[in-house]
Amino acid sequence: MSRLIVVSNRVGPIGDAARAGGLAVALVEALKSSGGIWFGWTGDVIEEADTRLKLESAGPLTLATIDLSADDFDAYYNGFANRSLWPLFHFRTGLVQYDRDNFAGYSRVNAAFAKALLPLVQQDDLIWVHDYHFLLFAEELRKLGCTRPIGHFLHIPFPPRELLTTLPNHEELVKALFAFDILGFQTEHDRDRFFDYVRMEVGGSILGDKARCFNRTVTARAFPIGIDAGTFANFASTDDGQKQFASMRDMLRGRRQIIGVDRLDYTKGLPERFNAFERMLEDHEEHRGEVSLLQVAPPSRTDVSEYQDLRLELEGMAGHINGRFAEFNWTPIRYLNRSFARQALAGLYRASHVGLVTPLRDGMNLVAKEYVAAQDPEDPGVLVLSRFAGAAKQLTDAVIVNPYDVQGMADAMNVALTMPLDERKDRYTKLMKVISEEDIGHWRTSYLEALSSVEHAGVTGGSL
Ligand code: GDG
């Protein structure tokens, strides 16, 4: 059996108190069962560049991490990754800031990390690189002579060609993707946008799931990420989950609750959601004093100004809506800028009658799946889901909305709140089937099967 090396920007924590953030959550679940090496950034920023590895063993896993210098952190992480790639890949060209020095920092960090990893790579290893932080990683490892199979999985959407080409270095980035053996996307739409770029922009050819260009071939497929559905369903009945459930239902005293759980990020459509909730209260007097919105939004990327602006905007909106509709014994929006333990989160999901997941654009969105998994099968809540989340391609039995349509979202909330029990159960059963079949284990196994079969075919990106 091959050993697995996972590469991602942040490494750990590996306990259940995982940070808010889909990638960390998914990788912890995927690595728990297999062991291997998890390699990336320590999360610490130091004054001077120092690429010495820190090794720590955690059960079957070895965590291998390096620090980032303050300059690299600004250019690679805050700069190119979060100010250029993140908005662009979420179709928000208006928010993209491009700076040559940031791209240089991004390339420098990809090269330095590849160099630091190389001595750990052994004969049988499979290397699985994650997300938009490390698009150049395989190219750098190949330059150093690594011929092991290297795969990439993109957790966020892949942008349309017309948007990607606004980035001055688009071709360099896409060319570097061809140094991987397997490219994994969340949905076929994302994969097809990559193919479209290859065909139309750089004159490559596509055959089945293979793209050929720059004298190299790469296999590109959709591997929709999942959750550990069973564990999540059980979380809701752990001590913590039950406690959270009971105290929430106690507090609600027969009233109902809509829940949103999102990193505080402009891709998640939070202002639009608050607007829609306000519209729903305007339209439906019967829900006033009776239905509240609990929005959990742990702060994220607090060094980036768009995130600071969003936080202020949401505070203003929540204050405005509460000022307008609150009564002495009822608050319409409870808005919490903090995170909860995962068990507690499951209890909150279960206590909520509607799950509102309305990103403007999202690779997959794990919250949508977690909300459903935590429901009581005998009295399940209703998932309202944006058509622009990757999850909407699988979860077609949710109430699907367009997050740009405030009235449509307000109407959908009312549909969810008034849905008869039979229909709720029917939708829940169909959703749970998909969520349990295409769970995190399925994602991991199907990706790693594809990656290990590269070797059996006898050709890796390194040998071309
Ligand atoms: C990226 C992509 C893709 C949230 N609040 C708390 C908390 N969370 C957890 C959720 C969920 C995770 O964070 C968020 O995952 P999402 O998938 O919803 O979103 P991103 O963070 O943007 O993730 C996304 C994902 O990667 C995986 O590929 O689906 O499209 O953008 O698991 O539960 N966890 C805890 N406390 C909180 O308060 N413990």
CATH code, domain carrying 215: 3.40.50.2000
Q: Whose CA is nearest to atom 9 of ligand 1?
A: 20
Q: Are residues 381 and 353 in the same domain?
A: yes
Distances in Å between the alpha carbon of 44 and those of 92, 148, 181, 425? 29, 29, 31, 47
Q: Which residues are catalytic?
A: 155, 362
Residue 250 inside a domain? The answer is yes
> Can you give the pLDDT at residue 366?
96
Query: Is the CB of 88 inside a 6 Å radius of any atom of ligand 1?
Result: no
Cα end-to-end distance, the chain, whole Å: 25
Residue 152 inside a domain? The answer is yes
DSSP letter string, 34-68: T-EEEEEEEEEEESS-----EEEEETTEEEEEEEE
Q: Cβ distance 148 to 462 under 8 Å?
A: yes
Query: Is the CB of 381 inside a 6 Å radius of any atom of ligand 1?
Result: no
Query: Is residue 221 within a helix (H) or strand (E), and if so which, with residue range?
Result: strand 216-222
Q: What is the number of domains present in the chain?
A: 2
Q: Are residues 43 and 86 in the same domain?
A: yes
Q: Judge if the upstream peptide bond of residue 13 is cis by omega within 30 degrees of 0.
A: yes
Count of C-beta atoms within a 10 Å radius of residue 409: 26
Q: Are residues 168 and 63 in the same domain?
A: yes
> Can you give the pLDDT at residue 69?
94
Angle at 314 between CA 309 and CA 317, to 5 degrees: 130
> Can you give the pLDDT at residue 214?
97
Q: What are phi and psi of 41, to 5 degrees?
A: -85, 145
Angle at 6 between CA 76 and CA 391, to 5 degrees: 85
Q: Are residues 245 and 199 in the same domain?
A: no
Q: Are residues 26 and 169 in the same domain?
A: yes
Q: Are residues 275 and 222 in the same domain?
A: no
Residue 130 inside a domain? The answer is yes
Q: Are residues 266 and 182 in the same domain?
A: no
Q: How far apart are CA 257 and CA 94, in angstroms?
A: 35
Residue 463 inside a domain? The answer is no
| pLDDT in single tens digits along all 464 residues of the chain | 788 999 999 887 776 555 556 667 677 766 777 778 999 998 889 887 777 899 998 888 899 999 999 999 999 999 999 999 999 999 999 999 999 999 999 999 999 999 999 999 998 999 999 999 999 999 999 999 999 999 999 999 999 999 999 999 999 999 999 999 999 999 999 999 999 999 999 999 999 999 999 999 999 999 999 998 988 888 878 887 788 888 888 888 899 999 999 999 999 999 999 999 999 999 999 999 999 999 999 999 888 899 999 999 999 999 999 999 999 999 999 999 998 988 889 999 999 999 999 999 999 999 999 999 999 999 999 999 999 999 999 999 999 999 999 999 999 999 999 999 999 999 999 999 999 999 998 999 999 999 999 875 555 655 44
Residue 150 inside a domain? The answer is yes
210-213 and 182-185 beta bridge pairing? unpaired
Which of 368, 355, 364, 358 is closest to 404 using CA atoms? 358
> Can you give the pLDDT at residue 463?
43
> Can you give the pLDDT at residue 15?
65
The two three-digit tokens of residue 336, written as one number: 């919490």
Query: Is the CB of 26 inside a 6 Å radius of any atom of ligand 1?
Result: yes
Q: Are residues 28 and 96 in the same domain?
A: yes
**Best substitution site from 366, 388, 439 to test ligand 1's pocket, by max atoms within 8 Å of Cβ?**
366
Residue 260 inside a domain? The answer is yes
Q: Are residues 204 and 327 in the same domain?
A: no
Q: Are residues 16 and 123 in the same domain?
A: yes
Q: Are residues 85 and 174 in the same domain?
A: yes
Model ipTM value:
0.99
Query: Is the CB of 29 inside a 6 Å radius of any atom of ligand 1?
Result: no
Q: How far apart are CA 239 and CA 249, in angstroms?
A: 15
Residue 267 inside a domain? The answer is yes
Burial of residue 122 (CB within 10 Å: 0-12, 13-18, 19+) is: exposed
> Can you give the pLDDT at residue 121?
95
| Parent domain of 261 | 231-437
- Distance from the alpha carbon of residue 24 to the mean position of ligand 1, in angstroms: 8
Q: Cβ distance 122 to 441 under 8 Å?
A: no
Q: Are residues 200 and 335 in the same domain?
A: no
Query: Is the CB of 261 inside a 6 Å radius of any atom of ligand 1?
Result: yes
Q: How far apart are CA 285 and CA 319, in angstroms?
A: 20
- Distance from the alpha carbon of residue 50 to the mean position of ligand 1, in angstroms: 30
- Distance from the alpha carbon of residue 393 to the mean position of ligand 1, in angstroms: 18
210-213 and 216-222 beta bridge pairing? antiparallel
Q: Cβ distance 226 to 190 under 8 Å?
A: no
Q: Whole-prediction pTM value?
A: 0.95
**Best substitution site from 132, 244, 367 to test ligand 1's pocket, by max atoms within 8 Å of Cβ?**
367
Query: Is the CB of 360 inside a 6 Å radius of any atom of ligand 1?
Result: no
Q: What are phi and psi of 19, to 5 degrees?
A: -55, 160
Residue 459 inside a domain? The answer is no
